[in-house]
Amino acid sequence: MKPLLLTAALPAALLGACADRAEAPERPNILFIYADDLGIGDLSCYGGVIPTPNLDRLAAEGQRFTNAYATSSVSTPSRFGLLTGMYPWRQRNTGIAPGNSELIIDTACYTLADALHGAGYGTGAVGKWHLGLGPAGGTDFNVEIRPDARDIGFDYEYVIPATVDRVPCVFVENGRVVGLDPADPITVSYGSKVGDWPTGRENPELVRMHPSPGQGHDNTIVNGIPRIGFMTGGRAALWVDEGIADTIATKAVRFISDHADRPFFLYMGTNDVHVPRMPHPRFAGRSGHGSRGDVILQLDWTVGEVLRSLDSLGIADRTLVIFTSDNGPVIDDGYLDQSVELLGDHTPMGTYRGGKYSLFEAGTRIPMLVRWPARVRPGVQEALFSQIDIYRSLAALTGAALPEGAAPDSRDRLPELLGERHEDRAFVVQQNVSNALSILSEGWKYLEPSNGERYNALVDIELGNSPSPQLYDIVSDPGERIDLADEYPERVECLSRWLDEIRGGSRAK
């Protein structure tokens, strides 16, 4: 009733704006942008020193989350959790997928894409995929690949099968390798060498970007960059690394403009800021912080391109944009690209401990921005939020009907997603690369005991593993410096039991 009483005193322009807001379309387009390995300190709107004006615009026009988490500290499980609404650790085979992995989401699973498709949305996946393609036993890249994204709810796919540091170095569009010459078939192996293309190990003199010692990026050389895994064939289809961001932006913009007249859901995965970091020449050397900084500029440009397309199509107001990252940052992730040397005063991890791969905060506490001009008011969202809830929140927003058993770990947190309510999630579960879990609730974070390595010297990241349970007061000690497990044994016991119950499924709903 309050707004009615106030209307008499409001100027006409403001009244118009209120009316627009009241008439906000119930079912906006949904543009979900998943950046890769972007840290909570990487954007200038989160205090980073590298200018990211387009992402800052998104933050200024929407909600900027400060306590949002990916489910996991590496890519494949986070993406799995997002699209299935089920914790990835409930299913085997959800670790970092090789480039010839089978599709790891069961086609019987009712995914977020299925839900939105069922609600009448046109659905597309563009960019990094990393959930496998094809049947068990290894993908054949020379035939139409099924099952693929189209078998789990997407109408359209244009994807990088895994990561850019993994073979095959090709895009797949609707099950077909783009530009493949059938006379030059592709063979891929993650075991031993196939074909006669040089490798980084045998021919280091041929590479233009050297692998970091001991990390394994010294197999087949493609475009002068040694990759993980071996491939041969498909020469005409090979991507050009410096053009990948442009390709992803172009395909995303095309999908958006093709769907300007009906509701769409675009799941867009950038390759930036994952390794190998090979920015387009217009970004190379521009950040002053090495190639990792340069690809942050490129990521920001990419987001700017899609925002501009929404503006020029006149659909920005009725498009919900969610921008976030699949896991936290890493500086040296396998190539000697000067990112460590030139990092300077840039702090990708913010003030948090750990990084990509880790159970500590910097592994999973990620940047997240949500903009929907017709409904979301600008502000900062401090509520505890997990990406696992995006599924049911979007299902609620779009009126999607979910079958029994869908998205078992996801909760409808639409008011938090839109910044209309600020309640903490009761708990957030995080997973590291060793599959150790932590639970964060009411400011207390319990990390279960794990025999995984404590510190990965190759990437210079503490993984959060310890044979003893750890307990941190995240509110007063967000940097996780003071382990309070010995001081609060009952709290440890209680959170440990809760985590077990969630694992067992009884209290997860």
Cis peptide leading into 168, omega within 30 of 0?
A: yes
Answer yes or no: are the C-beta atoms of 423 and 411 closer than 8 Å. no
Query: Could you tell me which of 28, 54, 23 has the C-alpha nearest to residue 264?
Result: 28
- The span of 177-185, 230-238, 326-334, 478-486 binding ligand NG6 (CB under 6 A) equals 326-334
231 forms part of the interface with ligand NG6 (CB under 6 A): no
Which of 232, 324, 327, 441 touches Ca ion (CB under 5 A)?
327
What 3-state DSSP class applies to 371? Answer: strand
| 271 near ligand NG6, rule: CB under 6 A | no
Q: Which stretch binds Ca ion (CB under 5 A): 287-295, 321-329, 345-353, 378-386?
A: 321-329
- Does residue 334 bind ligand NG6 (CB under 6 A)? yes
Closest residue by beta carbon to Ca ion = 75
Binding to ligand NG6 by CB under 6 A, coded x per residue (else -) over 72-91, reads --xx----------------
Question: Please, which residue, 72 or 470, has the CB nearer to ligand NG6?
Answer: 72
Q: Is the sign of the CA dihedral 228, 229, 230, 232 positive or negative? A: negative
275, interface contact from ligand NG6, Ca ion, none, CB < 5-8 Å by kind: ligand NG6
Is the peptide bond preceding residue 147 cis, with omega within 30 degrees of 0? yes
Identify the H or E element spanning 33: strand 29-35
The two three-digit tokens of residue 164, written as one number: 């850019």
Based on CB atoms, which residue is closest to ligand NG6, 50 or 275? 275
Choose the one of Ca ion, ligand NG6, none that binds residue 329, judging by a C-beta under 5 to 8 angstroms depending on kind.
none
Helix (H, G, I), strand (E, B) or coil at 425: coil
Token duo for residue 360? 């500590």
Cβ distance to Ca ion smaller for residue 272 or 326: 326
Q: Does 37 bind ligand NG6 (CB under 6 A)?
A: yes
Nearest CA to 247 among 308, 293, 298, 185? 298
Q: Which stretch binds Ca ion (CB under 5 A): 29-37, 224-232, 365-373, 424-432?
A: 29-37
Site for ligand NG6 in 385-444 (CB under 6 A): none
User: What residues numbered 278-317 form the site for ligand NG6, per CB under 6 A?
Assistant: none
Stretch that binds Ca ion, among 101-109, 264-272, 318-326, 329-337 (CB under 5 A): 318-326
Least CB distance to Ca ion at residue 274 (A):
6
For 242-266, give one letter per residue: b (16+ CB within 10 A) or e. bebbbbbbebbbebbeebeeebbbb
| 53 preceded by a cis bond (ω within 30 of 0) | no
Figure out which of the listed residues 30, 31, 32, 36 binds Ca ion, where binding follows CB under 5 A: 36
Q: Would you give the distance in Å from CA 54 to the centre of its chain?
A: 18
> Which residues, 159 to 178, sit near ligand NG6 by CB under 6 A?
163, 165
* Contact flag: residue 163 with Ca ion (CB under 5 A): no
Does 277 bind ligand NG6 (CB under 6 A)? Our answer is: no
Q: Which amino acid is at 453?
A: E
- From 30, 86, 129, 130, residue interacting with ligand NG6 (rule: CB under 6 A): 130
Going by the DSSP 8-state scheme, the letter that residue 417 receives in this structure is H
Q: Which is nearer to Ca ion, 327 or 496 (CB)?
A: 327
Q: Which is nearer to ligand NG6, 142 or 199 (CB)?
A: 199
Judged by CB under 6 A, does residue 204 bind ligand NG6? no
Query: Please, which residue, 327 or 386, has the CB nearer to Ca ion?
Result: 327
Q: Alpha carbon 379 to chain centroid distance?
A: 22
Cβ atoms within 10 Å, residue 288: 12
Interface segment toward Ca ion; rule CB under 5 A; list 265-273, 306-314, 324-332, 400-408: 324-332
Tell me: does residue 228 bind ligand NG6 (CB under 6 A): yes
Pick 75 or 247: Cβ nearer ligand NG6: 75
Could you give the 3-state DSSP secondary structure of residue 274? coil
Please name which of 272, 296, 289 lies closest in space to residue 346, comparing C-alpha atoms: 289
Within positions 85 to 114, which residues make up the interface with Ca ion, using CB under 5 A? none
CA 278 from chain centre, in angstroms, equals: 19
Nearest to 121 by CA among 86, 148, 153: 153
Q: Tell me the three-class secondary structure of 159-200, residue by residue.
A: EECCCCCECCCCCEECCEECCCCCCCCCEEECCCCCCCCCEC
The footprint of ligand NG6 on residues 478-507 (CB under 6 A) is none
Minimum Å gap between C-beta 356 and Ca ion is 7
Residue 96 binds which entry of Ca ion, ligand NG6, none, CB below 5-8 Å type-dependent: ligand NG6
Residue 138 neighbours by CB distance under 10 Å: 14
Give kind and range of the element (H or E) at residue 456. Answer: strand 455-456
Minimum distance between the CB of residue 271 and Ca ion, rounded to whole angstroms? 10
Contact between 333 and ligand NG6 (CB under 6 A)?
A: yes
Q: Indicate which of Ca ion, ligand NG6, none lies near residue 334 (CB less than 5 to 8 Å, by partner kind).
A: ligand NG6
To ligand NG6, the closest distance from the beta carbon of 15 in angstroms equals: 48
Cβ distance to ligand NG6 smaller for residue 275 or 310:
275
Cis peptide before 273 (omega within 30 of 0): yes
What's the CA gap between 172 and 145, in Å, rounded? 9
- Per DSSP, what are the bridge partners of residue 177? 172
The residue at minimum Cβ distance from ligand NG6 is 75
Site for ligand NG6 in 95-114 (CB under 6 A): 96
Residues that bind ligand NG6 (CB under 6 A): 36-37, 74-75, 96, 130, 163, 165, 215-216, 228, 274-275, 327, 333-334
